[in-house]
Amino acid sequence: MTHGYAQANGVRLHYVEQGSGPLVVLLHGFPDFWYSWRDQIPVLAAAGYRVVAPDLRGYNESDRPLGVEAYGLDTLAADVAALIQALGAEQATVVGHDWGGLVAWHVAMHHPEVVSSLVIMNAPHPRAFRRELKQNWAQKRRSWYVGFFQLPWLPEAMLAVGNRWLLRRVLRRGGPAHNDTELAAYLAAFAGPGAMTAALNYYRALFRVRSQRPVTIACPTLLIWGLRDRFLLPALADGTEAWVPTLERHEEPRARHWVQHDASASVNARLLEFLSHHAAS
């Protein structure tokens, strides 16, 4: 793997790159960074793809603009579109998990010219998320933390108290860090000044910064869902075909929210199969 930086949409984004061939861009979620894709990067690169996994704005080594308004979905999607162009590509397969999946939805909706195909992991289409929050009390209960994250300073304080005990718990208990080495990497990524505030500003901007109206997605799209997700119910994937006519769905019955780790071999195989048909030329 090599590390690089690109100017994209007014911010400096750090990324990790490996391989050559059609471009595949991997977008991480919360609380994560490029390292979220450590099980996928070498496999995709070995299969003949140029794999780029950026730290999204606010995360790890990428710039951290101040203010909630800097983290609206339209801005985040514009970052990815600009990054693809900065990498010298016309199009890419965009893969996103969690918040990276939400950003990926918006890239495909509002910058379709740079997206050859789309892969989403445990991240609902915006319309589906809005629908379930209105009518599904079980999903409302599981999304309680979204409301908590709207508060100023208190979430940051809770995640930092006791040598970051709560953050450690989130990362290790069903989270993306499976051992002490991985935990140390995540803690280092969130150690910089303002790192946790920038990550939480994604949630704060969700309700404060108006986004463009979602539209139908025409490109080939694969939706992968870990059915044991503690945060997002499988019902969030239902009906997605109404906005994504080309949708393919793949479920992992034993995987939790971080499906790319819990079922890495199966997810990688499904990714490679999809890319063999739909990767950018």
With beta carbons less than 8 A apart as the criterion, state whether 139 and 132 touch.
Answer: yes
Measured CA to CA in angstroms, residue 31 lies from 26, 86, 110, 175, 214 at distances of 15, 26, 25, 9, 25
Residue in 14, 257, 261, 278 annotated catalytic: 257
Residue in 32, 63, 79, 98 annotated catalytic: 98
- Runs of H (alpha helix) within the chain: 41-46, 73-86, 99-110, 126-135, 137-142, 144-148, 154-172, 180-189, 195-208, 259-262, 264-278
3 state DSSP class of 268: helix
39 is catalytic: no
Among the listed residues 208, 190, 95, 194, the one whose alpha carbon sits nearest the alpha carbon of residue 146: 208
The H or E element containing residue 252 is: strand 247-252
3 state DSSP class of 166: helix
Residue in 35, 203, 229, 262 annotated catalytic: 203
Provide the b/e sequence for 213-223 (b: ≥16 CB within 10 Å).
ebeebebbbbb
Burial category of 88 from C-beta neighbours within 10 Å (exposed 0-12, middle 13-18, buried 19 and up): exposed
Among the listed residues 37, 24, 54, 40, the one whose alpha carbon sits nearest the alpha carbon of residue 118: 24
203 is catalytic: yes
Dist. CA 81–CA 60, nearest whole Å: 20
Among the listed residues 277, 59, 100, the one whose alpha carbon sits nearest the alpha carbon of residue 186: 59
- Which residues participate in catalysis according to the annotation? 98, 203, 257
